[in-house]
Structure 1
Amino acid sequence: MIVASTLTYGSVAAPAQEKPDYRGAEQRHAGSQIAKHEGVHGAPSPDSYTAGANVLGHDVSGWQGDVDWPAATKAGAKFVYVKATEGTGFTSDHFNQQYNGSYAAGMIRGAYHFARPDISTGAKQAHYFVDHGGGWTRDGRTLPGALDMEYNPYGEACYNRSPKVIVAWIRDFSNAYKARTGRTPMIYTSTSWWKKCTGNSPVFGRTNPLWLARYAPQIGELPAGWDFQSIWQFSDSGKLPGDQNFFNGGPGQLTALATG
């Protein structure tokens, strides 16, 4: 790999790629690398879902292609996160149909960004995300943008970055996103990745909502700093109408999260 420049996150520096690799980005969805590294260990039982206490939702990417949103809502989905961007050079070809189509079907929607700490600063990726669909509006039906932090699909799990650099990178992204939108982004991750790549940092638990990936009958241990998850991605099916999620609360609380 050719190193072209140095990325600086506060006082922490790290080398950047000269020519970023985006192979597979259109098909890559939230959790694809988590399932690959951590496996799938079952799913919650049907009685884990309690009407009024949980809200069923999906997340989608270019992997699903154009989605039949009326069918998704008929099946019970109330919200969705849609992949918008990766790094600073990829935007999903299906973003507009997925993001605007879900909204037109009556769903609460949000956008997410697949993080690439090997490519640029967090702030630069936050601006790229907002500029390509990842913003937020106080309409009660748009969730804050989400930052997808998971295993590197192109190499070493933590992008050859130390925990100190990864934490600084996330802070850089979060601060820039809040400056642009007024909201702190949701952080999507797994507990195992978080422990490995941030040293189980607790610093975001009080500021950023948690979207936890865990493909098992129970949620299990949370990353340090968070007392609860806002969303649990319990299935990484990669099929229509998208990966499966429970929002940790009722419809009114979901609307409150969207409203800010």
Structure 2
Amino acid sequence: MSQDSAITLAPGERQLFSEQFSPNMFLTQFKTTMVITDRRVIVRRPNALFGVIPMGYNEETSPLRHISQVNAGESFSTRHMLYGGLAIVLGLINLGGGGSMFGGGLAVVGLVLIGVGAFLIYAAHELGVGFRNHGGGVLFAAASKSERGKVEAAKRAVNDIVFAREQPVESEVPVAPATDPTIVIPAPTSAVPSSAPSRFTAAQASDPTTPQALLSQIAEHEPSLRSTVAANPNCYPGLLDWLRGLGDPEVERALAARV
């Protein structure tokens, strides 16, 4: 059973960014959805009984103007530790009943519970993107440990959206058309090259699996890789339009060569 990623927006509300993570690297059907609109942050998390049985989802929101901090990193789930410990205790109790007439069945149940408990304790440390509001509340979009690069790219894109709104801008940033409701990423905010040392590679710029948020960052901060980004099949329409407007001959040739 896969998690429904559709999130209903209010009339007139515009989606700016959306990403999905798989907090469980084994049960990848459980998806955490993070959506940023021009009004709020939305995080939808799957609910699962004992970590394996789908039980709907929980959706939390916070107004965009109330977000004070965006973090990407590790979190510790007390709930997972509690459920994991309880499952292990129940499993040991069932194993202790092996001498009864139902001993064989109880032993199997006990082993299953111990396995589930150990898994929950293992999953107690989570990776993801967290949003802290001015009241101290936190929205957390959990991801698996293998999605660290995806989390970092999402954090950079979200920071650009959330905190750029606090600065005066001369013109509206172009946004990719909502042809895919799960991937809408803003184009880079400036055509001026960054003076910071490059942290991007040509392999990232050309890889079709590179997240669109990361492609936006590469195009903004690494002018020498813009033609490579323009040729990437995963380059989204909003970013293509931004690149096309730069008037760079190498970028123009890469755009013309796209199929």
Question: Which has the larger share of helix?
Answer: 2
**TM-score normalized with structure 2 length:** 0.23
